[in-house]
Amino acid sequence: MAEGYSVADPAMSDCLEQFGAGRLPLHECADVLGLDGLALLLATDTGLPEPMLVHGPLTVPLEDLQLVHGRGPGPDAAQHGMTVLAPDLSDLVASRWTGLTPAIRSLGVAAVFAFPLRIGPVRIGALSGHRRAPGALTPPQLDGADALADAAARAVLRQTAWLAGRADQAGLPFAAAHRAAGVLAVRLGGVSLEHAWLRLRAHAFRHDRSLLDTADAVLRDGLAGL
């Protein structure tokens, strides 16, 4: 169990024990927290946290939107080391995540919660969950989510490839986007992968298109004009 936490719910205790053993059962943990989806985000060499593991049908589209916009609950939690609670996206002030919140709501997501992952003072990512219906997490759920984020950070220590900041490994949710960035880097005359990644995101943003759809187009037919 994560240090400093006492969790009465046996299901939450089981999740924490599995995290402590290096396993990350996002499906079970989302159920315990009353969430419809959950993602483990880690900092990468692209400058934005990206999902390494996901659960739920809306999780990849939600994370895709945040990557395209370069901001949102998950990035805020990961980059600033703060807990982000947005229990009702329709109630957010207009200035917060301008342009992003309506797009998230259009997916069918009504609430988002993100908890930072830290190893000592080092920010390494976030545990980000969402609900289709608005509503706050209960105090036990908040305590459990904090405990899971702490346990997840410890579990990540066992995943040296993830900590190396490589998000282009086969099988990861946005591996195709990184392959597309590699293709672009060559096509644009050997620009850096970071520059190619920015071009890919910018094109997706300008054309109101998902990052993965844009990447698929690049890999399939080159996407002339990018």
pLDDT band at residue 224 using 50, 70 and 90 as cut-offs: low
d(CA 111, CA 136): 8
Between CA 89 and CA 13 the distance in angstroms is 30
Secondary element (H or E) of residue 61: helix 59-69
- Domain-wise residue ranges, the chain: 10-163, 175-221
Find where tokens 């036990």 sit. 140
- What is the reported pLDDT for 137? 95
Q: Check whether 207 has a pLDDT greater than 90.
A: yes
pLDDT band at residue 169 using 50, 70 and 90 as cut-offs: low
Amino acid identity, position 191? V
> Phi first, then psi: what are they for 189, rounded to 5°?
90, 25
**What pTM was computed for the model?**
0.89
50-55, strands of its sheet edge to edge: 50-55, 37-42, 122-131, 111-119, 84-86
For residues 61 and 107, the answer to whether their CB atoms sit within 8 Å is yes
For 48, the token pair is 């934005």
CATH 3.30.450.40 for domain 10-163, yes or no, is yes
- Spatial distance between the Cα atoms of 152 and 131, rounded to a whole number of angstroms: 20
- Tell me the per-residue pLDDT of 107-162, one tens digit each, with 9 for 90 and over: 999 999 999 999 888 899 999 999 999 999 999 999 999 999 998 898 887 765 55
